[in-house]
């Protein structure tokens, strides 16, 4: 049987095609051994049991095939929250934290009512609730399995959000101080759909018609009917869609239209404010 250090070195070499071979190997070890990263470097000479090595080798083989680390471990951290993930949902990504940072900059009521459309794992809704416990946070999700997963994450994290099973505003009532969404925005013809983690994620959470803009435009069309005067709409979109999204927000009467860049410096989140004094 190999030691922890031996397996880590072997796995790192085997994952040379990965963008992060060392981190991938560490995450698999931490998952199977149920330890933290510090433990790995404190006890590299520990010998793996046969069962542990078999589990690690099986996971490594799947990672070499391209399966996302998040699917192999069942967990992805977002905004410091450990979220359960599954093939039925989009895997939360660090770039989406740009949206949460913008939310924190908004001057919203202490008892704001907010909603996350297309919540998936519940990542955005749960991040907002973790920052503002006094907010009423709702979340909409079309896929029933994803709804169940978002509810599971809310329960595990002891964060009280209300998950609605439906399509966008279909079963939503009342008006909100803030509407946020990370909807499907990839062009069906985009070559990136055959690369990386997205190969293993549901197309329904990734792809939209009209060159990826259909769902973004639908939300912008409907949002004024569900926002309070002075309320905000924030949307994640593709790296090359900011101009189209901002232009459409202005066409639909939004003020203060602007965007924020992701970790790679690409305009990733665009938003605007409904005219009128906030309540």
Name all domains of the chain by residue range, CATH numbers in brackets: 4-65 (1.10.8.10), 87-273 (3.40.50.150)
pLDDT in tens, 192-209: 665 666 666 666 667 776
CA dist 131 and 114 (Å) reads 13
Q: Please identify which residue in the block is written with the tokens 């749960």.
A: 126
pLDDT at 279: 43
Look at 15 and 175; give whichever has higher pLDDT: 175
* Residue 34, token pair as written in the block: 């149920």
Q: What is the DSSP string of 222-262?
A: HGGGTEEEEEEEEEE--TT-HHHHHHHHHHTT-EEEEEEE-
Dihedrals phi, psi of 95, to nearest 5 degrees: -60, -30
Q: Does the pTM of the predicted model rise above 0.85?
A: yes
CA dist 166 and 121 (Å) reads 15
pLDDT at 189: 65
pLDDT in tens, 229-249: 999 999 999 888 999 999 999
pLDDT in tens, 9-56: 888 888 877 778 888 999 999 989 888 888 888 888 888 888 988 899
């Amino acid at each position: 049987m190999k030691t922890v250090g031996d397996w880590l070195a072997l796995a790192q070499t085997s994952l040379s095609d990965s963008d992060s071979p060392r981190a991938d190997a560490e995450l698999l070890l931490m998952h199977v051994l149920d330890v933290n990263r510090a433990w790995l470097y404190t006890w590299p000479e520990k010998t793996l049991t046969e069962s542990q090595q078999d589990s690690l080798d099986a996971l490594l083989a799947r990672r070499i095939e391209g399966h996302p680390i998040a699917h192999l471990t069942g967990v992805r951290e977002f905004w410091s929250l450990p979220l359960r993930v599954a093939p039925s949902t989009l895997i939360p990504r660090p770039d989406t934290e740009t949206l949460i940072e913008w939310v924190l900059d908004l001057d919203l009521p202490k008892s704001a009512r907010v909603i996350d459309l297309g919540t998936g794992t519940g990542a955005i809704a749960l991040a907002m609730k973790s920052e503002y416990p006094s907010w009423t946070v709702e979340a909409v999700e079309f896929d029933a399995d994803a709804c169940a997963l978002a509810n599971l994450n809310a329960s595990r994290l002891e964060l009280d959000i209300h998950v609605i099973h439906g399509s966008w505003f279909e079963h939503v009532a009342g008006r909100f101080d803030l509407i946020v969404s990370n909807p499907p925005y990839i062009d069906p013809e985009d070559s990136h759909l055959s690369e990386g983690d997205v190969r293993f994620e549901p197309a329904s959470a990734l792809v939209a018609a009209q060159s990826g803009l259909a769902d973004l435009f639908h939300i912008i069309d409907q949002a004024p009917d569900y926002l309070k005067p002075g309320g905000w709409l924030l949307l994640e979109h593709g790296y090359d869609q900011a101009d189209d999204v901002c232009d459409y927000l202005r066409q639909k009467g939004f003020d203060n239209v602007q965007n924020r860049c992701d970790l790679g410096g690409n305009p990733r989140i665009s938003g605007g404010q409904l005219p009128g004094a906030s309540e």
